[in-house]
Amino acid sequence: MTRIALVGIGKIALDQHVPAISASPDWELAATVSRQGRVDGVEGFTRIEDMLEARPDIGVVSLCLPPVPRFDVAQAALRAGRHVMLEKPPGATLAEVHALRDLARAQGVTLFATWHSREAHAVAAARRWLGDRRIESGRITWREDVRKWHPGQEWIFAAGGMGVFDPGINALSILTHILPEPVHLTGAELDFPANRDAPIAARLEMTQGITADFDFRQEGPQTWDMEFRTDRGHLALRMGGNLLEIDGQPAGGADTIMGEYPALYAQMARLLGENASDVDLSPMVLVADAFTLGRRVTVEPFAF
């Protein structure tokens, strides 16, 4: 078992990372670093420097902090020669992730920028099916209730918090993984609440006739769907990449019985074994491009 430290003990750490690590034969959760959060029975630190100093036996650090504070912690861990795994998005800016990638290379350690949605059950099957087809059009609908999934998380609407692109980048991480040819943006509209610095909704237009509709104000049923019309049939991925339909019929497609986060930790174990890194920034490039190219619309103020 490889000892790992988890940094940022908030909702996503407790909901996903801790159970995934606990259930894995590869990993032992050996320490946490968090201002307030703790995990029972695990040594807790409040500062990354203290953990790096006190626990030279912990070779791997997994970060589930919000994007803005993430860089300094990742840099400290890499400089201390530790392997690093990053929750999505891998940073608040592209340039800082480029810097982390270069640092990991210089240190000879593994950096894994994770995209958990790529591990959803039907994604690999969708990628295979699309692999030799030509996309004629596509439609992504990613609508969820920010109050349900990010209760009171003010950082998500602060500058750099990415707003609705926090879930939207999950869709884009699937999209960039399954398409046989890369896409780019041709237009975007971003809805900013009058009292917030990050968008609450966005509509994207991309090449290959693909559109995306991201909305953080969806009450009732949640929607995480994408559909593609190709030269040979129609594919739909529903439930965030977990259900596959071909030409309107269920087509299963589960390649794994693991959940998304267990699959990420298994992948991290493989990367360590191969002394390799995996830093694909294409979903984040599309988000940065949407902010750069997008027309801004001011909408009504938002309160949690």
Q: Which stretch binds a second copy (CB under 8 A): 34-42, 142-150, 228-236, 287-295?
A: 287-295
Q: Which stretch binds a second copy (CB under 8 A): 17-25, 46-54, 88-96, 236-244?
A: 88-96
**Min. distance of Cβ 206 from a second copy in angstroms?**
9
Closest CB to a second copy among 109 and 188? 188
How far is the C-alpha of 182 from the C-alpha of 118, rounded, in Å? 16
Strand partners, 2: 27
Q: Scanning residues 195 to 234, which ones bind a second copy (CB under 8 A)?
A: 197
Is 79 one of the binding residues for a second copy (CB under 8 A)?
Answer: no
SS3 282: helix
CA distances from 154 to 78, 146, 151, 174 (A): 28, 11, 9, 26
Q: Which residue among 239, 271, 288, 299 contacts a second copy (CB under 8 A)?
A: 288
Q: Which of 17, 88, 116, 150 is catalytic?
A: 88
Is 299 one of the binding residues for a second copy (CB under 8 A)?
Answer: no
Do 163 and 156 touch, CB atoms closer than 8 A? Answer: yes
∠ CA 170-304-65, rounded to 5°: 45
How far is the C-alpha of 280 from the C-alpha of 271, rounded, in Å? 14
Annotation marks residue 88 as catalytic? yes
Phi and psi angles of residue 243, each rounded to the nearest 5 degrees, phi first: -125, 135
Closest CB to a second copy among 45 and 115? 115
Q: Which residue among 2, 42, 55, 99 contacts a second copy (CB under 8 A)?
A: 99
**Min. distance of Cβ 94 from a second copy in angstroms?**
5
How far is the C-alpha of 230 from the C-alpha of 111, rounded, in Å? 35
C-alpha atoms less than 13 angstroms from C-alpha of 222 in its C-beta half-sphere: 11
Closest CB to a second copy among 99 and 251? 99
Do 260 and 116 touch, CB atoms closer than 8 A? Answer: yes
Cis peptide before 221, with omega less than 30 degrees from 0?
no
Which element (helix H / strand E) includes 77?
helix 67-79
Is 188 one of the binding residues for a second copy (CB under 8 A)?
Answer: yes
Q: Which stretch binds a second copy (CB under 8 A): 26-34, 108-116, 119-127, 281-289?
A: 281-289
Q: Mask 123-162, x = binds a second copy (CB under 8 A)?
A: ------------------------------------xx-x
Q: Mask 4-33, x = binds a second copy (CB under 8 A)?
A: ------------------------------
Q: Which stretch binds a second copy (CB under 8 A): 20-28, 41-49, 104-112, 291-299?
A: 291-299
C-alpha atoms less than 13 angstroms from C-alpha of 88 in its C-beta half-sphere: 28
SS3 296: strand
Is 166 one of the binding residues for a second copy (CB under 8 A)?
Answer: no
Closest CB to a second copy among 207 and 275? 207
How far is the C-alpha of 44 from the C-alpha of 128, rounded, in Å? 43
Residues that bind a second copy (CB under 8 A): 71, 92-96, 98-99, 102, 159-160, 162, 182-185, 187-188, 192, 197, 282, 285-289, 291-296
Catalytic residue numbers read: 88
